[in-house]
A and B are shown apart, each in its own frame.
Chain A
Amino acid sequence: MPSVRTLGLVVRTVDVFETSLIMTAFTRDLGKVSGLAKGARRLKSPMQGGLDLLGVSDIVLLHKASDALDLVTEAVPVERFASLRRDLAALYAGYYIAELLSDLTDFHDPHPRLFDAATVTLRHLGEPLLRSRRVLRFELACLRELGLMPVLDACAHCGVEVEAEGDSFAFGLATGGVLCPSCRTGQPHVATLSGRTLGAIRALASPGNAWRDPELGPGSLGAVRATLGAVISHHLGRRPRLLPFLGA
């Protein structure tokens, strides 16, 4: 049975038996993995607290050839995010990131950039002024990495450049982006976005510093939150459990 070592962010744990747990981690090199950590809840466990939720650990997995769960043989804590233990809003945002990584990604499908985006976001959740923007940026990074990013610059159906009707754009949740007036008819789950909201989503998705622009006020961020929440709910097939806990 070959063993593999990788950095992983623990996104889910379930207690099993008296002292063991099943952990799910989003790892940098292997993507999402699950494994049984025998005796991990014992005081003198070799896991040394390395399987605490939302912590980055150096994890060693023993791969099972059969359908049985992999075994976690070692987990050494590498990074803890202190703000999650000091600030309830930061903790809820962290749980939301864990939910997205756990439920939107597939097993053994690595996305190193998504792993890096998650750790950078978790590291900065203690900054209340930029917290909601960082979470929105992470959601967009997550959608982009997983190939689910909504099309924002052209019609998601026919590809032509989309112009606003007045100040509003049609946004197809099922189609995956903005829609031109001729494609809008007959499309299911179409929302209407203001030009300001669409501009805010573009700014938040862009690589520069436009996402820090103070012009993106709470009004437009609230609309972006609702839109991205709807997009993610569409891909998950349900509303994320943590969505009601997030502020605008």
Chain B
Amino acid sequence: MPKKIRKKHLLYLLFLISYSTFGQFSGTNLFESQYGQIPNDFSNFSSTYNRTLLNYTYNNFKAGLTLENYYTPYQDRNYTRLTQGSLQYTSKWINVRLGSYQETIGRGLLLRSFEIPGAILEDLSYRSRYYFQRDIFGFNTTLKLKNSTTKIIYGKPLNNVFPPNQDQSLRRTDEIFAVYSDYNFYNQTLGASVLNVKNTSGNQLLGMTTISGKLSSVFSYYFEGAKEIGDNNFSDFSSTSTYAYYGNLNLNFENLGISLEGKNYNNFIIGSGINEPPALIKEHTYKTLNRSTHVAQPLNESGYQVEAFYTLANASIITFNHAVAINNLVNKKFTFEEYFTEYSFSIKDKHDVKIFADYAIDPLKQEENRISLGAYFDWKSSKKSSLKTEFEFQTFERNGISTQNYVVIAGYSYQSKWIINLVSEISNDQFLTSNPLKSWLGCNLKYQVNNKNNIALFGGQRRGGPACNAGICYEVLDFKGIEARWNYRF
């Protein structure tokens, strides 16, 4: 058959299949362009980052691809790479995934993968930007019966310290195989899991058990305990053994909610860090507090967290949080303590106000007597627009030297369409500057074009430092310059 005719038949076949299948494409695209510099840069330079996520769904099947691209004047930082690819079959009872997927066992003691939406990671060593996620590449199947769930997990978790332009063998050094199963009876769930991790250090076998449930209309609980079992020494809980446990109790009394959590982790970093035990530290949205979040150390950490919130009749909320984390590291004991309270309320049923106060002692950050105070105002200037202002102040002592941080934010928003704000920060932290004061001033503008498109612009200086988002803490770099971001959903 002539080549030309064969091609024509294939094209018509493709055309017919398209119409008859009524499959659907969907996805997102994140594009960001920067012109500026980060610490250690001597001059400004421009860079562009793009991430396209494309899905095709047909009945119970779904295929996905993620393409990332980073371009700068420096060839060694650049890349264009398919960073994720997946095939998935989902039905009421079974879910099968091949390729890239995310999976967490229990509360993350053994395994946790994640994606921080919209976050682009960059560090001072590789200087390459990439999407902040930690997926697993392999095979996963979940069987969901009426009273039980069973998962079989195999694959190689991503080590996101290394950007996509590095050797892929560096990025996925751990090979895991895990089985998880649970059974639900009378509103209680009993679960168990076994995980084997293989890497250049050898094999490590860990077991985990969970129990959770509702004991009454006001009381529910969760407990998870894990231990290394490859050595067959199930009763060894000495300082050299590998074990972890986490538990929480929840109480609800009308408008009052109380959450109590406890943890004890010992030598519990698995592989290159494929797990993420619950930190039991409040993740704040206020800048000064978010930057000061204690990062859990699974090598050795014990502690607890209690949080209570009370909703008043007019929808005001009072929140109280207290957390303690004790680390025994390098033959020394470090005790982190934090007390936080917040009151959020409305004035005349339309203007919103939030005020907070926080006291903490953080020996790992060398911050003693850390006091943070702040207030946030959302003043409705009309039915569709509002003025937002925020003030934060923080002071602490480090090695006898007093340090202060200030944050002032002033903004305006019109419906969900336009948001503009000026962010100003000042600090005399000697870890950041040898000058008496360091300041940052930046302007953010966000425009929601429609349901599918939004554009965000930044100009000025943005302070970096630790940041915590969706339970994951990471380092953000200072940035000075201009930045444009476009998010598109299709």
Co-assembled chains A and B: no
Q: Which residues of B contact A (CB under 8 A)?
A: none
